[in-house]
């Protein structure tokens, strides 16, 4: 089963909502960071991939119809090379809004060694460190993180042929995705999941201000 969609948008750009939406549209699971929780073999494969030793992508994504969020977004170009017929979906939001969300959730969790869901302790395995080294090792710095975010998005736009790329902004809903995939627009409301407070609650942090 080949991937139909390769998500190039980094975390905190509506990727959990996109996961639910793509599963609804494609009738199968969508890979997301949460898929690595409880899969140490996957996390090791991702660590090695970020270090330059790519896995068998077809085997890693066996059974999945799409992939969004980190870690896939960090290696979207390699993944798309393995699935050239897939749509590249670049999910984006305003850079300052992205930083506000990321700094209060994923970046904070990594800086504090927060346990992953389903784990009693952080259990560092090197995957997140390798992933962020590719993005920017200075991810806790506002200017460096935003510069990396903008550079990442610009690279996707400059690399993917326009007929294979969909740039999707949080709030765009079903229509652009359905148009790009040639699918009917569902009657139900577009999913809205994993707000900043949802994420913080999941990893045991207090609600944000």
Q: Where are the domains of the chain?
A: 5-202
Alpha-helical (H) ranges within 27-173 are: 40-50, 57-60, 76-82, 95-104, 106-111, 127-135, 142-159
Read off the pTM. Answer: 0.89
CB burial of 62-71 (b: ≥16 within 10 Å; e: otherwise) equals eebbbbbbbb
Reduced to 3 states, what is the DSSP secondary structure of residue 70?
coil
User: What pLDDT, on a 0 to 100 scale, did the predictor assign at position 138?
Assistant: 96
User: What pLDDT, on a 0 to 100 scale, did the predictor assign at position 1?
Assistant: 72
- Dihedral pair phi/psi, residue 88, rounded to 5°: -90, 120
The CATH number of 5-202, from 1.20.210.10, 3.40.50.300, 3.40.630.30, 1.10.357.10, is: 3.40.50.300
**Tens of pLDDT, residue by residue, the chain (209 residues):** 799 999 999 999 999 999 999 999 999 999 999 999 889 999 999 999 999 999 999 999 999 999 999 999 999 999 999 999 999 999 999 999 999 999 988 898 887 755 555 454 455 789 999 999 999 999 999 999 999 999 999 999 999 999 999 999 989 999 999 999 999 999 999 998 754 455 444 445 454 55
CB 11 within 8 Å of CB 70? yes
Reduced to 3 states, what is the DSSP secondary structure of residue 30?
strand
CB 30 within 8 Å of CB 19? yes
> Rounded to an integer, what distance in angstroms lies between the CA atom of residue 57 and that of residue 50?
13
- Residue 174: CB atoms within 10 A of its CB come to 19
- What letter would DSSP give residue 89? E
User: What pLDDT, on a 0 to 100 scale, did the predictor assign at position 125?
Assistant: 84
């Amino acid at each position: 089963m080949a991937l139909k969609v390769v998500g190039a948008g980094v975390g905190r750009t509506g990727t959990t909502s996109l996961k639910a939406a793509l599963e609804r549209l494609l009738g199968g699971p969508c890979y997301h960071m949460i898929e690595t929780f409880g899969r140490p073999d996957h996390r090791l494969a991702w660590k090695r991939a970020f270090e330059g030793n790519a896995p068998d992508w077809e085997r890693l994504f066996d059974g999945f119809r799409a992939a969004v969020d980190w870690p896939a977004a960090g290696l979207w170009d390699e993944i798309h090379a393995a699935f050239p017929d897939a749509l590249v979906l670049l999910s984006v939001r305003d850079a300052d809004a992205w930083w506000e969300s990321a700094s209060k959730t994923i970046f904070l969790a990594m800086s504090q060694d927060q346990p992953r869901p389903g784990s009693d302790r952080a259990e560092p395995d090197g995957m997140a460190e390798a992933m962020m080294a590719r993005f920017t090792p200075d991810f806790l710095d506002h200017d460096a993180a935003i510069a990396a975010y903008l550079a990442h998005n610009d690279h996707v736009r400059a690399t993917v042929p326009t007929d294979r790329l969909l740039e999707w902004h949080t709030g765009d809903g079903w229509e652009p995705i359905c148009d790009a995939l040639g699918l009917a627009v569902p009657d139900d409301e577009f999913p809205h999941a994993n707000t900043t407070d949802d994420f913080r609650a999941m990893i045991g942090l207090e609600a944000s201000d």
